[in-house]
Amino acid sequence: MEQYLFGIDVGGTTVKCGLFRRSGELLEKWEIPTRTEENGRQILPDVAVTIRCKIQERNLKKEEIAGVGIGVPGPVMESGEVPGAVNIHWGYKNVAGELTEALNLPVRVGNDANVAALGEMWAGGGRGASNLIMVTLGTGVGGGVIVNGKIVTGAHGAGGEIGHAIMEPAEEEACNCGNRGCLEQYASATGIVRLAKRYLAAEYPDGGTIQAPAWLCAEKLTARDVFDAYKDGDSAAETIVRRFADCLGRAMAFYACVTDPEVFVIGGGVSGAGEPLLEILGRYYRKYAFPACRDAGMVLAKLGNDAGIYGAARLVLCD
Amino acid sequence: MEQYLFGIDVGGTTVKCGLFRRSGELLEKWEIPTRTEENGRQILPDVAVTIRCKIQERNLKKEEIAGVGIGVPGPVMESGEVPGAVNIHWGYKNVAGELTEALNLPVRVGNDANVAALGEMWAGGGRGASNLIMVTLGTGVGGGVIVNGKIVTGAHGAGGEIGHAIMEPAEEEACNCGNRGCLEQYASATGIVRLAKRYLAAEYPDGGTIQAPAWLCAEKLTARDVFDAYKDGDSAAETIVRRFADCLGRAMAFYACVTDPEVFVIGGGVSGAGEPLLEILGRYYRKYAFPACRDAGMVLAKLGNDAGIYGAARLVLCD
pTM for the full model? Answer: 0.94
Q: What distance in Å separates the CA atoms of residue B75 and residue A254, rounded to the nearest whole number?
A: 18
- Could you tell me which residue, B288 or B208, shows the higher pLDDT? B288
Confidence band (pLDDT; 50, 70, 90) for B86?
confident
Residue A2 has pLDDT above 80, yes or no: no
**Cβ–Cβ of B254/A165 closer than 8 Å?**
yes
Closest CA in chain B for residue A183: B254
Q: For residue A182, give how far its alpha carbon lies from the nearest alpha carbon of chain B (Å).
A: 9
The percentage of residues in chain A with a pLDDT greater than 70, rounded to a whole number, is 98
**Cβ–Cβ of B165/A254 closer than 8 Å?**
yes
Residue A77 has pLDDT above 90, yes or no: no
- Tens digits of per-residue pLDDT, B127-136? 999 999 999 9
A150 touches chain B (CB under 8 A): yes
Residue B208 has pLDDT above 80, yes or no: no
Mean pLDDT of B56-71: 96
**Cβ–Cβ of A296/B152 closer than 8 Å?**
no
Residue B273 has pLDDT above 90, yes or no: yes
pLDDT given at position A301: 98
Closest to B20 in 3D by CA, of B267, B311, B303, B301: B311
Confidence band (pLDDT; 50, 70, 90) for A87?
confident
Closest CA in chain A for residue B180: A288
Query: Among A129, A148, A162, whose Cβ lies nearest the Cβ of B257?
Result: A162
Q: What distance in Å separates the CA atoms of residue A46 and residue A5, rounded to the nearest whole number?
A: 18
Parallel/antiparallel/unpaired status of strands B263-267 and B297-300: parallel
**Cβ–Cβ of A260/B155 closer than 8 Å?**
yes
A158 touches chain B (CB under 8 A): yes
Q: What distance in Å separates the CA atoms of residue B231 and residue A162, rounded to the nearest whole number?
A: 35
Looking at the predicted complex, does its ipTM rise above 0.90?
Answer: yes
H-state helical runs in chain B = 37-40, 43-57, 95-103, 112-123, 184-187, 189-203, 214-217, 223-231, 235-259, 275-288, 307-315
* Burial of A215 (C-beta count, 10 Å sphere; 0-12/13-18/19+): middle
Coil, helix or strand at residue A1: coil
On average, the pLDDT of chain A sits at 95
Would you tell me which residues 110-129 of chain B have a C-beta closer than 8 angstroms to some C-beta of chain A? 129
Closest to A220 in 3D by CA, of A190, A242, A198: A190
B257 touches chain A (CB under 8 A): yes
- Tens digits of per-residue pLDDT, B100-109? 999 999 999 9
CA gyration radius, chain A: 21
Question: How many contacts does A have with B, using Cβ atoms within 8 A?
Answer: 142
Closest to B304 in 3D by CA, of B72, B138, B171, B168: B138
Q: Which residues of A touch B295 (CB under 8 A)?
A: 156
- Tens digits of per-residue pLDDT, A230-277? 999 999 999 999 999 999 999 999 999 999 999 999 999 999 999 999
- Tens digits of per-residue pLDDT, A193-220? 999 999 999 998 876 666 889 999 998 9
The percentage of residues in chain B with a pLDDT greater than 90, rounded to a whole number, is 91
pLDDT given at position A319: 74
- Tens digits of per-residue pLDDT, B293-315? 999 999 999 999 999 999 999 99
